[in-house]
Amino acid sequence: MSVRIEDVATHAGVSTKTVSRVLNGNPSVRARLRTRIEASIRALNYVPNASARSLAGNRSYLVALLYDNPMSGSSYTMELIVGVLQACEGTPYNAVLHPFDAADDLAARIDGFVATHRPDALVLVPPHANNAALLQRLDELGVPYSTISSKLRQSRINVGFDERKAAAEIVAHLVALGHRRIGHVAGLQGHGARTWRLNGYRDALRKAGIAYDESLVVDGDFAFASGMAGARTLLDRPRPPTAIFAANDDMACGVMREAYARGLSIPGDLSVCGFDDTPASRLISPGLTTVHQPCRELGRVAVESVLQSIRDGAPPAPERVPYQVQWRASAAVPRNP
Amino acid sequence: MSVRIEDVATHAGVSTKTVSRVLNGNPSVRARLRTRIEASIRALNYVPNASARSLAGNRSYLVALLYDNPMSGSSYTMELIVGVLQACEGTPYNAVLHPFDAADDLAARIDGFVATHRPDALVLVPPHANNAALLQRLDELGVPYSTISSKLRQSRINVGFDERKAAAEIVAHLVALGHRRIGHVAGLQGHGARTWRLNGYRDALRKAGIAYDESLVVDGDFAFASGMAGARTLLDRPRPPTAIFAANDDMACGVMREAYARGLSIPGDLSVCGFDDTPASRLISPGLTTVHQPCRELGRVAVESVLQSIRDGAPPAPERVPYQVQWRASAAVPRNP
DNA sequence: TTGAAAGCGCTAACAA
DNA sequence: TTGTTAGCGCTTTCAA
pLDDT of A12-56, one tens digit each?
888 888 888 888 888 888 888 888 888 888 888 888 888 888 888
Q: Is the pLDDT of residue B73 over 70?
A: no
Q: Which residues does A106 contact at the CB level (< 8 Å), separation at least 6?
A: A66, A100, A128, A131, A134
Q: Are A105 and A175 within one domain?
A: no
Question: CA–CA separation, B111 vs B113, rounded Å?
Answer: 5
Strand C closer than 7 Å to the CB of A33?
Answer: yes
Strand D closer than 7 Å to the CB of A111?
Answer: no
Q: Are A287 and A311 within one domain?
A: no
Q: Which residues does B108 contact at the CB level (< 8 Å), separation at least 6?
A: none
Phi-psi region of B13 (alpha: psi -120 to 50; beta: other; left: phi over 0): left
Letter for the amino acid at A112?
A: G
Query: Which chain B residues in 43-82 lie under 8 Å from chain A, judged by CB atoms?
Result: 45, 47, 49-55, 58, 60, 70, 72-79, 81-82
Q: Are A179 and A288 within one domain?
A: yes
CATH number, domain at A70? 3.40.50.2300
Q: Are B153 and B226 within one domain?
A: no
- Judge: A85–B79 Cβ closer than 8 Å, yes or no: no
Domain around A18? 5-48
Closest CA to B61 of B79, B44, B77, B48: B48
Band the pLDDT of A180: cuts 50, 70, 90.
very high
CA angle A276, A281, A282 (to 5 degrees): 125
Question: Is B140 inside a domain boundary?
Answer: yes
Helix or strand or coil: residue A184?
strand
Rounded to the nearest integer, the mean pLDDT of chain A is: 91
Question: Is B286 inside a domain boundary?
Answer: yes
pLDDT value of position B72: 56
Question: CA–CA separation, A154 vs B97, rounded Å?
Answer: 31
Higher-confidence residue: A25 or A253?
Answer: A253
Q: What would the mean pLDDT of B272-276 be, rounded to a whole number?
A: 97
Question: Is B328 inside a domain boundary?
Answer: no
> For residue A95, which residues of chain B lie inside 8 Å, CB to CB?
97
The reply to whether A90 touches chain B by the CB within 8 Å rule is: no
Q: Are B225 and B249 within one domain?
A: yes
Q: What would the mean pLDDT of A295-301 be, rounded to a whole number?
A: 95
CA dihedral B169, B175, B179, B184 (to 10 degrees): 30
Q: Are A106 and A227 within one domain?
A: no
Letter for the amino acid at A151?
A: K
pLDDT value of position A73: 55
Question: Is A332 inside a domain boundary?
Answer: no
Quote the minimal CA–CA distance from A110 to chain B in Å: 14
- What digits encode the pLDDT tens for the residues B99-108? 888 878 888 8
> Radius of gyration of chain A from Cα atoms?
25
pLDDT value of position B43: 87
- Judge: A96–B99 Cβ closer than 8 Å, yes or no: no
Q: Are A24 and A115 within one domain?
A: no
Q: Are B130 and B31 within one domain?
A: no
First CA to last CA distance, chain A: 76
Question: Is B337 inside a domain boundary?
Answer: no
Question: Is B266 inside a domain boundary?
Answer: yes
Closest CA to A210 of A171, A237, A245, A165: A171
> For residue B99, which residues of chain A lie inside 8 Å, CB to CB?
82, 85
Question: Is B304 inside a domain boundary?
Answer: yes
Strand C closer than 7 Å to the CB of B16?
Answer: yes
CA dihedral (B21, B27, B30, B32) positive or negative: positive
Question: CA–CA separation, A45 vs A296, rounded Å?
Answer: 32
> For residue B295, which residues of chain A lie inside 8 Å, CB to CB?
73
